[in-house]
Structure 1
Amino acid sequence: MTINATIHLDELDLQILDILIKDARTPYLEIARVCHVSGGTIHVRMKKMEDLGIIRGTKILLDMPKLGYDVCCFVGIYLDKASSFSAAIEELTNIKEIVELHYTTGEYTIFSKVICKNIAHLQDVLLNSINVIKGVQRTDTLISLSQPIDRNVQL
């Protein structure tokens, strides 16, 4: 498989990534056993993929409702003009409730995923954090009712 012109992954690399996508906490020796190679080989391959930027660290996945954050929504943000983009992104980056931000084509300039404790918290974020940013013309909010699929891309 070719990721781009300079990065080539072989079947072992893809097998390692597939195992880690399913469970990022899988020990190297377990990966080695499944792949029929040594633990040292797995270590070398992991280091290579980290150095190439294919693996960019690890994340902990939190159950947000159990932590009191019951509202997940998506906010489409319309900017008044393209030149407002950089300054708006800088401000949006400082809003801790925004957990994803995408520069998009289509109807919205920016599409964000926002996690809040409740509707009152969401209203506060919209009115006092997002809509007050210079260049934000208006927003469109879609509340997620459930998330039946939550997975990484399968290789």
Structure 2
Amino acid sequence: MDIIDEKIIDVLKENSRATASQISKNVNLSIPAVSDRIRRLEESNIIEKYTIKLNREKLGYKLMAFVFINIDCAPNIHGFRELIIEFSEVIECHHMAGEYDYMIKVLVSDTTELEDFLSNKLKSIKGVQKSNTLIALSTLKEKNNR
């Protein structure tokens, strides 16, 4: 990967629907050369997929929370991992070092839906010993890619 590949990736980060023609103007390469570079980036899995960014509020998802979770013992970790990724409210799940075992990012419409998720879904998973929920008041920066 070189500086031109990085420029192509930067264009695609801003608009994953950019055409090879549009990208070629930004990186000063021919359209076939840009297409070939994009194909190589895809084949090498540097580009894993193309996606869109949705306006969550307009879709009714007005509350984002971060939930820190402790699992009581190692035998319950596998079951937790299998179940937590199935919940549509969970948009990220991270295994953590430090005081908590996992951190999940939850997106819901309101506090009632958050309460339902915490009480009836999260706490019903075998091994969930402790959780700590923090509600995001606003988001200053959020990017999908570096």
Distance 1:119 1:58 in 2: 32
Q: 1:61 maps to which residue?
A: 53
Matched to 2:32, the amino acid is G
Identity %: 32
Normalised TM-score (structure 2):
0.94
Distance 1:36 1:102 in 2: 39
User: How many equivalent residue pairs?
Assistant: 146
Normalised TM-score (structure 1):
0.89
- Which segments of structure 1 move beyond 4 Å, counting only runs of 4 or more? none
Tell me by how many angstroms 1:73 deviates.
0.6
Distance 2:115 2:144 in 1: 30
Matched to 2:63, the amino acid is V
Q: 2:16 maps to which residue?
A: 24
Q: Secondary structure at the match of 2:133?
A: strand
Distance 1:45 1:81 in 2: 47
Q: 1:89 maps to which residue?
A: 81
* Structure 1 runs not aligned, ≥5 long: 1-8
Q: Does 1:47 pair with 2:39?
A: yes
* Structure 2 runs not aligned, ≥5 long: none
Q: Deviations over 1:26-82 (max 9, x none)?
A: 221111111111111111111111111111111121111111111101011110012
CA RMSD of aligned residues (A): 1.2
Q: 1:116 maps to which residue?
A: 108
Q: Deviations over 1:77-120 (max 9, x none)?
A: 11001232221010101110000011111121111100011100
Q: 2:133 maps to which residue?
A: 141
CA pair 131-66 structure 1, distance change in 2 beyond 3 A: same
